Structure 1
C-alpha cells in the first residue's frame, strides 16, 4: 500500500476517514466477529469505564475480580488500548478462537509489530503516513523514547523493554492476553459471540442481497458510500479524525463488537488491510447524530440572543412577534435567529390560524450533550 495523506472536508465537523473500494467485489468485504478485537474492546472498557456508562456493572465486577498481579500487568500495557486501540488488536482476518488470532500475531515480524504497538501512544506524526520501525531507525527510536517518557515512567519502562527485548516482550504480552482470557474473557466471549456472529451473518446477507449501501446503513449511521467524480467509489466514515486508505487489492473487514459503543474504529494505516470495528448497539439506543449536525446545533446555541430566546421557547410555543417583544429586537431579527435554529433541528413550528408558533425541540436539546460526547468518542 502506498502512503496516504490525511484528508478532511471543508469543516472540522465534516471530517471523514475515506476507504477507496473502487472495483472491490462484494466477496472481498467480510463481516466477521473477532475474539481478539472483542478482548481489546473489553480491555478499553476496563481502562476507561467513563466512556461506557452502560457497561459500568460489568467493568466494576470484572475489575474487582482481577488478581493483583494481573491488574498490575494490565496497567503496564494499557496504553495499547486506553486512548485508542492498537492495530495489533484489530485483526484483518479474524480467527475462530483467541489462540488462533494470537498465533497470527506471533507470525508478524518484530519491526512491524513494534511499530504498530507504538503508532498511537508514541507517535505525533500522522497515523496515515508510514514511519520507520524504532528497532531499525535510531532517530525514530529516540523520538519514541522521548514521547513515552512524557507520558510517565510506566509507559517509558514498557517502551524500553519492547525496544531492548522485543521477542521477550511479545511473549509477555501474549501471556497477558491469555491470562485475561482465563480470568474473565472466556466467559464474556461465550456470552456475546452468538450475538456478534448473528449480526455479522445478517450484515453479510444484506451485502450480498441488497448491496453495500444497505449493509452500511444497517451497520452504522456514520458509514456511507460516496461516488467520486473520477469514477471511484469510497466509504466515508464520519469521525473527527480524517485519513485515507484503499481496500483495493486487499479487501475490507467489518468486525462487530458488543463492548464498543459509542466508538467506531477504523484501521487505515499503510500496509494494513482496512478494518472497521462497529458497535452492535442495544435496540433502545438512538442513532448517533452526524458530526455536522452536532456542530450546527452547538453553533446555533452559542449566540446569546438565541440562548435568551430558548428561555421562552422551552416553556411553550411563541409567535415571532411575542419573541420580538420579549427579546427587545425586531421581528425580522427574530426570524433570522429562528431560521438558524430550525436548520439545526432545534425548533418545531406549527400554524394555528394566522399565527405561526415556534417551540424548542426538547428531545434534540436533551440529546446534545450525549451527541457531542458520542461524536468525540466515535
Structure 2
C-alpha cells in the first residue's frame, strides 16, 4: 500500500522544501500528547511538561484531538512562513467553512479522501460530527460544539493557545531546531536542482520513491491515499520531532504536503511496510516458528531440521525458503553442507519495524 502523489508535468520550481514553525509546533504538541510514539524525546517531554502552567496544560488537553492521533491539515501549511506569526496569519485567512471541516477531518469525519460538506452549512454532517465527537468524551464534544456555534471565537482561542505555547516553550525550541531544519531543506533543494527529484526523495526518506515512468511520487505507508500536485505543486517540510511519522496531506482540494523527519545517525532506516508484512506472515505458520526455535540456537542443515521435527527434507526446504525470502534466515556453506540460521538482528528489529510501520 502507498500514498500516491501525481506529479506529471510538474515543473521543479513548484517542488518546495521549507521548514514551518506551525508544522514544527504541531509535531512538538503531538510528542507531548503521545510520548510513547517518541521514546528518544522523553527527556524533552519531561522537561517541557514540568514547565507548563496548569492553565496552558488544560487548554492543550482540550484541543489535543487536532494533533494527538495524527496532525490536522491545518497544522501543515502549504506555504510555510518564516515565523509562527506568519503561519498563523495564513491560517486566519482560511474561510470558516474550510477551517472547520479541516479541523474535524481526522477525528470527526466519515472520510478523509472524499469531499464532504462543511458541518457549518450541512445539518447532516454537523450531526455526524457531534456524534463522533461525543464518542471521544465530553471534553472533545464541548470543544466541537464551541467551534460549530462560534467558529470565529474558537479560532481566536486557538491562535492565542499557539502564541502562548510559543512564549512558554516553543520559542526556545524553535530557535534550537530552526537552523538544522533550514539547512536540511536547503540541502534537499540543492539535490533537487542538481541531481533530480529521485535523488532528493531518496535523501528525504527511505519511504519516498519516484515512479518516473508514471509521473508520481510513492509514499510507503499502510494507509493508502491519492492526490495530485500537478497544478499548484507540493511542499516538503522537515521536522526534528517527527520520527517515526511521515505525514502526507492528500485531502481533496488541498495542496499536497509531506512532513518528514530529518535524518540523524541514531535513527534506523524505515523498513518497507511490505517487508514487515511479509516477515509477520512468514512467522505465522506454527512449523516455521518451531524451525526458528532451532535455528536461533545454532546453524542447522535441512536434514537435521527434518529429523528433529519429523517432517521431510523438501518440506523443511519450503519453509526455510519462505523465511529466507522474508530476510529472517541466513544460509552459509560448510563443505558440501548448507547450514541455516536465524538472522537474530533482523528478528530483533521486527517489533520496532512493525511499530514504525503502523505509526509512519
The TM-score range, normalised by the shorter chain, is over 0.9
Q: 1:133: which partner in 2?
A: 118
Post-superposition shift, 1:225? 1.1
Post-superposition shift, 1:336? 0.2
Unaligned runs of 5+ in 2: none
Match of 2:195 among 197, 200, 210: 210
Q: Which runs of 4+ in 1 moved over 4 A?
A: none
Q: 1:121: which partner in 2?
A: 107
Q: 1:290-316: per-residue Cα shift (whole Å, max 9, x none)? A: 011000101111111111111111111
TM-score, scaled to structure 2 = 0.99
Taking only aligned residues, the RMSD between alpha carbons, in angstroms, comes to 0.8
Match of 2:131 among 132, 137, 146: 146
Match of 2:26 among 14, 35, 40: 40
Q: 1:27-84: per-residue Cα shift (whole Å, max 9, x none)? A: 1000000010000000000000000000011011111110000000000000000001
Unaligned runs of 5+ in 1: 1-14
2:88 aligned with 1:102: yes
Post-superposition shift, 1:128? 1.4
User: For 2:86, what is the secondary structure of its paired residue?
Assistant: helix
Q: 1:165: which partner in 2?
A: 150
Q: 1:333: which partner in 2?
A: 315
Post-superposition shift, 1:341? 0.3
Match of 1:298 among 271, 280, 284: 280
- Counterparts of residues 168-247 of structure 1 (less than 5 Å): 168-227=153-212, 232-247=214-229
Provide the C-alpha distance between the structure 1 equivalents of 2:246 and 2:341, rounded to a whole number of angstroms. 34
Match of 1:276 among 253, 258, 261: 258
Q: 1:327-366: per-residue Cα shift (whole Å, max 9, x none)? A: 1111000000010000000011111110001110001000
Provide the C-alpha distance between the structure 1 equivalents of 2:259 and 2:91, rounded to a whole number of angstroms. 18
Match of 1:249 among 204, 221, 231: 231
Q: 1:18: which partner in 2?
A: 4
Q: 1:155: which partner in 2?
A: 140
Provide the C-alpha distance between the structure 2 equivalents of 1:84 and 1:287, rounded to a whole number of angstroms. 21
Match of 1:84 among 70, 76, 81: 70
Provide the C-alpha distance between the structure 2 equivalents of 1:338 and 1:141, rounded to a whole number of angstroms. 55
